[in-house]
Structure 1
Amino acid sequence: MQQPEAGDKSRSLPSPCPPQASLTDVSFYTRRCITDDLSWSLVTVPPLTELCLQHIAHNFENNPILNDLLPEHQKKVVEKLSTSLPLSVTANRVSHEEYWKRCCMERWQVCDVSNYGDSWKRMFFERHLENILKFFIPNTTDPDQVLDLIPLCQDYVRKLEINQFLPPLQVDPKEEGHDLSDAEDEAEMGEVYKHHYNLKELITSLPHLEELHLIYDVKSCGMNFEWNLFNFTELDCSNLASAVRMCRNLKVFKLTRSKVDDEKIKLLARSLQNHPRLLELDLSHNLIRDHGAQAIGKLISHSKLETLNLCNNQICHLGAQALAQGLAESSTLTSLNLRLNFVEDKGGEAIGRALLTNTSLKCLHLGSNNLSEPTAAVFSQVLAQNTSLTSINFSCNHLGLDGGKQLLAGLANNKTLTELDLRHAEVEQETDFRIHEIVWANREAVRLASLQHPSTEPSE
Structure 2
Amino acid sequence: MRRIIAEDPDWSLVTVPGLSSLCLQRIVQSFEEKPIYEALTPPQRDAVEERLSPSLPLRLTAKLIGDGAYWKRCCERRWTLCDVSLYGRSWKRMFLERHLENVIEHFIPDVTEPSAVLELAPLCEDYVKRLDVSQLLPPVGEPRKEDEDSGDEERDGPSMDHFDFGLLLHLLPDLEELHVAYRVNRCGMNFERSMFEMTDRDCESLGKALESHGTLKLLRLHQSRVDDRKCRMLVKYLLDHPSLKELDLSHNLIGDEGARAIGKLLGRGQLEALRVHDNDVRGPGGRAVAHALSGNPALLSLNLRLNRLGDEGGEAIGKALMGNDTLRHLHLGANEMTRRTALALSEVLVQNTSLRSLNLSCNKLGVDGGKALEDAMSHNSSLTQCDVRLTEVDESSLAFINRAVERNRASSAD
Cα distance change of structure 1 residues 274 and 303 upon mapping to structure 2, 3 Å threshold: farther
Structure 2: which 5+ runs fail to align?
A: none
* Aligned position for 2:16: 45
* Aligned position for 1:369: 335
* Aligned position for 2:178: 212
Deviation at 1:183, TM superposition (A): 12
* Aligned position for 1:92: 63
Counterpart of 1:302 (choices 255, 259, 268) is 268
Q: How many residues are aligned here? A: 410
2:272 touches 2:300 (CA, 8 Å); kept in 1? yes
2:120 maps to 1:153: no
Cα distance change of structure 1 residues 96 and 343 upon mapping to structure 2, 3 Å threshold: closer
- Superposed CA RMSD in Å reads 2.0
Structure 1: which 5+ runs fail to align?
A: 1-27, 173-181, 450-460
2:395 maps to 1:424: no
**Distance (Å, rounded) in 1 between the aligned partners of 2:16 and 2:56:** 28
* Aligned position for 1:169: 140
Tell me which amino acid in the other structure corresponds to 1:348: G
Cα distance change of structure 1 residues 197 and 252 upon mapping to structure 2, 3 Å threshold: same
**Distance (Å, rounded) in 2 between the aligned partners of 1:399 and 1:190:** 56
**CA deviation vs aligned residue, 1:373-404 (integer Å, no higher than 9, x gap):** 21111112101110001111111111111111
Deviation at 1:96, TM superposition (A): 3.9
Q: TM-score if structure 1 supplies the norm length?
A: 0.86
| 4+ residue segments displaced more than 6 Å | 182-187
Counterpart of 1:392 (choices 358, 368, 383) is 358
Deviation at 1:186, TM superposition (A): 11
Deviation at 1:63, TM superposition (A): 1.2
| Identical-residue share of aligned pairs (%) | 48
Pick the structure with greater CA Rg: 1
Query: Which is bigger in relative contact order (C-alpha 8 A, separation at least 6)?
Result: 2
Tell me which amino acid in the other structure corresponds to 1:369: N
2:197 touches 2:226 (CA, 8 Å); kept in 1? no
**Distance (Å, rounded) in 2 between the aligned partners of 1:392 and 1:84:** 51
**CA deviation vs aligned residue, 1:157-204 (integer Å, no higher than 9, x gap):** 0100001000111269xxxxxxxxx99999858974870010112111
**Distance (Å, rounded) in 2 between the aligned partners of 1:112 and 1:318:** 43
254-263 or 369-378, which deviates more: 369-378
386-395 or 187-196, which deviates more: 187-196
**CA deviation vs aligned residue, 1:349-388 (integer Å, no higher than 9, x gap):** 1100110011111111111111112111111210111000
Secondary structure of the residue aligned to 1:263 is helix
Deviation at 1:419, TM superposition (A): 1.3
Q: TM-score if structure 2 supplies the norm length?
A: 0.95
2:85 maps to 1:110: no
2:220 touches 2:247 (CA, 8 Å); kept in 1? yes
Counterpart of 1:337 (choices 300, 303, 307) is 303
1:194 touches 1:229 (CA, 8 Å); kept in 2? no
Tell me which amino acid in the other structure corresponds to 1:203: L
**Distance (Å, rounded) in 1 between the aligned partners of 2:407 and 2:77:** 51
Cα distance change of structure 1 residues 193 and 249 upon mapping to structure 2, 3 Å threshold: closer
* Aligned position for 1:438: 404
Cα distance change of structure 1 residues 193 and 201 upon mapping to structure 2, 3 Å threshold: closer
**Distance (Å, rounded) in 2 between the aligned partners of 1:312 and 1:84:** 43
